[in-house]
Amino acid sequence: VTFSIQAIDNSGMARSKTTENIDIDITKPDVAVSYDNNDADSGKYYKANRTATIKITERNFDPADVNITLKNTDGVIPKLSGWTTTMGTGNKDNTVHTATLTYSADGDYTFDISFVDMAGWDNTPVSYSGNNPQEFTIDKTLPVINVAYDNNAVANGKYFNATRTATVTITEHNFDPTRVNVTINTARGGVAPSVS
């Protein structure tokens, strides 16, 4: 809003004109976050990259006023892309500012976002679309399985005259013992050993 003031006294003397610009913003900003990969395993585990698209609908936008809290147990934090703006119509309250975050490193992530516009309005409750928008795990690393034996005194290529114990070691950040399959085949009526 622009207005001007001019004062003229009874003798016709005019004071200088003053012009002021005032921005009026009574609309709270909207924040929406959506994800492109929602193919989770066991609730919140993803084996491929995941990209979050952040859209802030606000006329009076300053990227410095976006507050993102992002943590990863493995330390690698994705970088926010640059903001792009799609100008709105009318009073420009529907102007949309967009940025993305691509989660490409392994880790357990937590995410939160808030925004305060230049008029001091906090955003309305964040609108999330997609599974596990604020807490999830990226795991693109295959498990490593190692089998070691305590008795390697073999005769004739495959015969052992004493008990033999196999120790199975699985190196995996997101380990679930119910998802380990051990298959033991025996010949000549032998009894398969049990797995501890």
Residue 70: strand pairing partners = 111
Please tell me the predicted confidence (pLDDT) of residue 82: 95
| H/E element, 103 | strand 96-103
Query: Tokens 């709105």 belong to which residue?
Result: 88
Residue 55: strand pairing partners = 32, 98
Please tell me the predicted confidence (pLDDT) of residue 75: 93
Please tell me the predicted confidence (pLDDT) of residue 196: 87
Please tell me the predicted confidence (pLDDT) of residue 22: 62
Predicted structure pTM score: 0.79
Q: How far apart are CA 112 and CA 134, in angstroms?
A: 6
Please tell me the predicted confidence (pLDDT) of residue 10: 73
CB 91 within 8 A of CB 34: no
Please tell me the predicted confidence (pLDDT) of residue 181: 92
Please tell me the predicted confidence (pLDDT) of residue 178: 92
CB 109 within 8 A of CB 76: no
* Structure token digits, residue 25: 């913003």
* Structure token digits, residue 171: 């190196």
CA dihedral for 67, 71, 77, 78, sign (positive or negative): negative
The stretches in the chain having pLDDT less than 50 are none
Q: How far apart are CA 81 and CA 98, in angstroms?
A: 9
